[in-house]
């Protein structure tokens, strides 16, 4: 496998591990109440921002690696 794919898989695993506690908080709050409260919404926003940042970062890295191959 190319090094870039291995690096991306490691990053995905690391970020999934970071998102697990906030996701658990949102799930517990959703089950414990009649819906998601402010903490749950803040947690979901945090997870969405993390995902958006990672997508931006991976796209930027992909573009840089693609541009390195051009003369």
pLDDT digits (tens, 9 = 90+) for 15-42: 766 766 776 776 776 666 677 778 778 8
Percent of the chain with pLDDT over 90: 17
For 26, residues 6+ apart whose C-beta sits below 8 A from its C-beta are 36, 39, 40, 43, 44, 47
Domain that residue 22 falls in? 3-66
Backbone angles phi, psi at 53, to 5 degrees: -60, -45
Predicted local distance difference test score (pLDDT) of residue 9: 67
- Give the 3-state secondary structure of residue 16: helix
Residue 71 lies in a domain: no
DSSP 8-state secondary structure symbol assigned to residue 18: H
Residue 25 lies in a domain: yes
Residue 56 lies in a domain: yes
Contact 26, 38 (CB under 8 A): no
Residue 12 lies in a domain: yes
């Amino acid at each position: 496998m190319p090094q870039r794919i291995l690096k991306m898989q490691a990053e995905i695993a690391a970020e999934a591990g970071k998102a697990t506690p906030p996701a658990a908080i949102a799930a517990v709050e959703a089950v414990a109440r009649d819906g998601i409260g402010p903490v749950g919404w803040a947690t979901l926003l945090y997870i969405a921002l993390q995902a958006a940042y990672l997508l931006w970062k991976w796209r930027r890295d992909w573009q840089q690696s693609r541009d390195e191959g051009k003369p």
